[in-house]
Structure 1
Amino acid sequence: MTRFIEHLVEPRRLLLYWQARESKNRSRYCVGQLIKHGDDVWLQYGVDEQEMAEAIGMGFKGYPAFPLNRSEHRQHVLDAFMRRLPPRNRRDFGRYLELRGISRDADISDFALLGYTGAKLPNDGFELVHPFDEPPTAFEMLLEVAGFRHEAEIGVSHLKEGDSVRFAPEPDNTYDRLAIRIESQGRKLGYVPRGQLEMLHRAIDQGASVEGVVFRLNGSDDRPLVYVLTSVTRDQSAIPKTAQRLEA
């Protein structure tokens, strides 16, 4: 594993997720997508009609400044979402990149930066997800371990940067048949975030191996956060899916 993301993939679109904080399971819903159109970026709501309906039922009212009474917005979309990130001319911007697995001298577009960082803010529940629609044979991404606070079988004090992790699918998972468990030292840490599940399963179906290491430990005592630098590598010789192993 490398210290930073080495293969930056320029996205054609980004998925917009929203977390319903009042739901029992703090469910995440894909409520839209940001799509590149030449030099412009458009926001489209309702990628999945059923999921959108569930989100609205849980209180989703649209992204601020882009009301739900229009399914598509074409003006000032990129600017609105870039305000979720610190400006590039800020003195500590290089450090901001490094904490997200990106080298401070990386040549990365604003649109890709939104996808690789997630552009999360503390209180509004929105996150952007890079779907890696047409990935190269090798690429990397930084994942926050979902559910660490409630699911982990190991305390954050027993983890350190560089610890290897294992990815284990849970097809019989009660809540999501696509669930992928993340383990370290033989014990459960949590899960791959919902937004990356379909992409990872698609990669594995294509013969990819998935490896990871603990990249960063963060957060507070009552809400510890664990980030895993994840490498996806597809073997050109394509071993049949039944022979693939999804582990570090």
Structure 2
Amino acid sequence: MIDQLLVIWGEPAAGNRQVIGHLARSAGEFRFWYEDDLAKAQARGFQMLPEFPVHRRADDPYIGRYLFALFAERIPAPTRRDSAEMMTAWGVDHPDDQFEVLARSGGIRATDRLELAEYRAVDDDLSRPLEFRIAGRRHITDAAPLAVEDAVSLRREPDNTADPAAVIVDRMGRKAGYVPRQYTQLLGGLVERGVPLQGKVVRELLLPDDVGKLVVRIVSSRL
């Protein structure tokens, strides 16, 4: 079960994404808190979210009995005619699980720059598969073509001047995209230690701007 999500903000101009907060649930409560350091995001144009105007951190989070409206509004009503079809397209196994719906769909809307992703600790062993939306694909010249069911692998890119910690999604020796930054420390560390990983493109997620995002599932094959 997913009990914590990363709240990610995308810079309007460059498209760079940064974790700005966390959404969690436990003991019948929902909590939201901001990252300790928001300076970089604020320098790039991030403004405090209206529902969370004060910079509260993990030791003093916003607490609610119900899922905060900013996130609840990103979940389709079950009465929608196409609700079941959307859940299938997103790979949601439990449509009544709000956090699973947000993690699989990304909670992406055309009206803001927010995205949600499953939280994983940097020492996670991937005994439970991790799914992520491939990043940076549109910025790669001659990116390797990808289709659902294609096998992929991961490799480090230490000569990347923008991000020496970058991890490439590789398709048969060709660069197909990148692991999103929120997972580079985790997956880059596993690659560095030689942990055998299996990766596969499992679906294409259609976004509000009509640009599809391919979703990759990674699991440790040593377990």
Name the TM tier (shorter chain).
0.7 to 0.9
Partner of 1:174: 161
Matches within 5 A, 1:165-204: 165-204=152-191
Residue 181 of structure 1, CA deviation: 0.8
Instruction: Count residues in correspondence.
Output: 217
**Counterparts of 1:229 and 1:209 in 2: how far apart (Å)?**
16
Aligned 8 A contact 1:140 1:229 in 2: no
Partner of 1:41: 30
Q: What is the DSSP-based 3-state SS (H/G/I as helix, E as strand, rest coil) of the residue aligned with 1:139?
A: coil
Q: Does 1:65 align with 2:67?
A: no
Instruction: Summarize the Cα distance change of 1:99–1:36 in structure 2 as closer, same or farther, 3 Å threshold.
Output: same
Aligned 8 A contact 1:143 1:193 in 2: yes
Aligned 8 A contact 2:90 2:205 in 1: no
**Counterparts of 2:169 and 2:201 in 1: how far apart (Å)?**
11
In structure 1, runs of 5+ residues without a counterpart are 1-9, 237-248
Partner of 1:94: 84
Q: Does 1:131 align with 2:122?
A: no
Instruction: Summarize the Cα distance change of 1:218–1:82 in structure 2 as closer, same or farther, 3 Å threshold.
Output: closer
Q: TM-score by structure 2 length?
A: 0.80
In structure 2, runs of 5+ residues without a counterpart are none
Partner of 1:243: none
Partner of 2:136: 147
Could you report, residue by residue, the CA deviation over 1:82-133 in whole angstroms, capped at 9, with x for unpaired residues?
A: 2112123333222212222234xx3762123322332111241111121223
Partner of 1:3: none
Q: TM-score by structure 1 length?
A: 0.73
Q: What is the DSSP-based 3-state SS (H/G/I as helix, E as strand, rest coil) of the residue aligned with 2:90?
A: coil
Q: Does 1:122 align with 2:110?
A: yes
Instruction: Summarize the Cα distance change of 1:135–1:121 in structure 2 as closer, same or farther, 3 Å threshold.
Output: same
Partner of 2:150: 163
Counterpart residue identity of residue 92, structure 2: I
Aligned 8 A contact 1:214 1:226 in 2: no
Aligned 8 A contact 1:137 1:233 in 2: yes
